[in-house]
Structure 1
């Protein structure tokens, strides 16, 4: 099969298109012929080595976390899927490889593709959908009437976060550039702030929840808009000791995470707020629930550009530029 691989961590090296062995499946896995994959900032961060301490991959490495495609083979113990099923998945860490023609995935990380959307749209959902689900439903227990501030509302995570927050009955504020105001308003945003000309810290107050996806400076400013007892959940860091413990990192790395988040935790306590880091985990059952929301028209994918497989490097560069509205897709078949 054809696959895009990297041989080492590098910010400047291009992915190389090579012939790679087709995966052999285990008894609890399915072989998926990949029709579409999406590009996430995580792919660029892995490529550059930013997460090599947390996710020490071996080389050669095929990047890509989101897939949509058709099952071609099933393992002997697979019970919920059959050959020919259309599926989508956020493949688990250490088993990534969406920038290829085929991938083997454990059954419990796979979900039926929503029938009402295309393969390209389906590939846009898993990582960002699960991130938002785990932030709002698992961590925050977001409730009707609460106020949530979602940074970068026109981005891949932001477009889904706005829709899920509104479905849960929350009041939503977000930031974006003026050219994307109509987009985020259509998705359901109640308050839209132009990050280029306005300071959200001077506009928002008494919020229950912040979903942080930006830098440390923005995170610290976001703490100031929370009401007492409010929560800030960050998907961009700094990682904390609770995350290190949950993911089974050793004592040294737990200590590192504690030190990395010490300043942020201290600032949060000063504001009588709670800070936590979210590193999304693959989950087929949750993805199935998200699929139902899509089928019912509650969540709609937002796609910026679709690149042919041969232009995978261009797709990664476009995501790295930060200009994407919604998701960037690689069409493989």
Structure 2
């Protein structure tokens, strides 16, 4: 291989803590038919990145990845089209683009975003919003598509790994929506989409998120450290829980009969019977790559209807530091790697 065929990437040769991310030379990928090669300018971090880096240790052993090392983490990119494969006519070299790459199909192998170049199926790609820079565009895809597919439009007919029925968004205009984890990547975008659609929005987050929540125009802010949400809200039409973990069942008490509970991370939810008894519809879905939805959302990012909050940026060479930041737990918005 000549140097021309190589690139820099942050790769894993083993599962483990942040230090297993090694910045090194790697083969540059070539676009297959229907794909585009993107020169990456920025790559966003998301929870599946650190779950995979860790080898999905939280899952039962039979569900864990059987990985072929070395692998490159990351799904979310913003950059510039550098080459197009056969059959691609919607994009050409020089186009600024953003995407969530091959998710969830590459959830166990990595989608290759922590690198100078990545190949992306053209159907998963959209033109980058002109009004924002590559860092903000790279921060958007997974968080934005998650919020969009939960609240606005599912956008696909793939089987749902979490339930036997298709997830369906509910009407938001004039409704009361409570968002738990509103300072995080998915949460802060869900807040803005719900406001855009005319909902009354109550948010639950840590106190340092209060100023951001005011800026985003939320109708009520609850500091989860001082207030138990299940004691103080009774009138929600919809709860979107972007956190998961223990005791998601507590949200059933804040929802009106006939309302809905949407769980971004449903694993461990044990309230199906209680929900049925209360007439609350519980639903979840797995976010999927979707270029058309990113193109639609780009208009909202362009005109300022949606704003992406950046927690911090790190150069690609310091991906392990970025992962340590992610694990600190006190982040607001998104962490992004910049690629020189």
TM-score by length of 1: 0.89
Partner of 1:164: 193
Match of 1:235 among 244, 258, 264: 264
Higher helix share: 1
- Per the TM alignment, residue 81 of structure 1 is displaced from its structure 2 partner at its CA by 0.5
* Structure-2 separation of matches of 1:186 and 1:13: 36
Q: What 5-or-longer segments of structure 2 have no aligned partner?
A: 1-6, 154-167
Establish whether residue 147 from structure 1 lines up as the match of residue 162 from structure 2. Answer: no
Structure 1 residue matching 2:77: 3-state secondary structure: strand
Partner of 2:36: 30
Q: 1:15 to 1:283 in 2, by over 3 A?
A: same
Partner of 1:242: none
Establish whether residue 74 from structure 1 lines up as the match of residue 84 from structure 2. Answer: yes
Instruction: Please give the per-residue CA displacement for 1:90-109, whole angstroms capped at 9, x wherever unaligned.
Output: 11131611101100000000
Partner of 2:277: 270
Establish whether residue 328 from structure 1 lines up as the match of residue 338 from structure 2. Answer: no
Partner of 1:90: 100
Partner of 1:132: 147
- Per the TM alignment, residue 305 of structure 1 is displaced from its structure 2 partner at its CA by 0.7
Instruction: Please give the per-residue CA displacement for 1:83-127, whole angstroms capped at 9, x wherever unaligned.
Output: 000000011131611101100000000000000100001001100
* Structure-1 separation of matches of 2:208 and 2:119: 40
* Structure-1 separation of matches of 2:29 and 2:310: 29
Match runs of 1:274-289 below 5 Å: 274-289=281-296
Deviates more, 1:195-204 or 1:5-14: 5-14
Partner of 2:26: 20
Structure 2 residue matching 1:46: 3-state secondary structure: helix
Partner of 1:252: none
Extract structure 1 runs of 4+ deviating beyond 4 A. 54-57
Instruction: Please give the per-residue CA displacement for 1:271-312, whole angstroms capped at 9, x wherever unaligned.
Output: 221112222011000011110111222101111111111111
Establish whether residue 121 from structure 1 lines up as the match of residue 136 from structure 2. Answer: yes
Aligned length: 311
Establish whether residue 7 from structure 1 lines up as the match of residue 36 from structure 2. Answer: no
The answer to whether the 8 Å contact 1:41/1:320 transfers is: no
The answer to whether the 8 Å contact 2:35/2:121 transfers is: yes
* Structure-2 separation of matches of 1:269 and 1:185: 35
Establish whether residue 65 from structure 1 lines up as the match of residue 71 from structure 2. Answer: no
* Structure-1 separation of matches of 2:234 and 2:189: 23
The answer to whether the 8 Å contact 1:140/1:209 transfers is: no
Q: What 5-or-longer segments of structure 1 have no aligned partner?
A: 239-259
Match runs of 1:291-306 below 5 Å: 291-306=298-313
* Structure-1 separation of matches of 2:66 and 2:78: 26
Q: 1:73 to 1:12 in 2, by over 3 A?
A: closer
* Structure-1 separation of matches of 2:70 and 2:275: 41
Structure 2 residue matching 1:144: 3-state secondary structure: coil
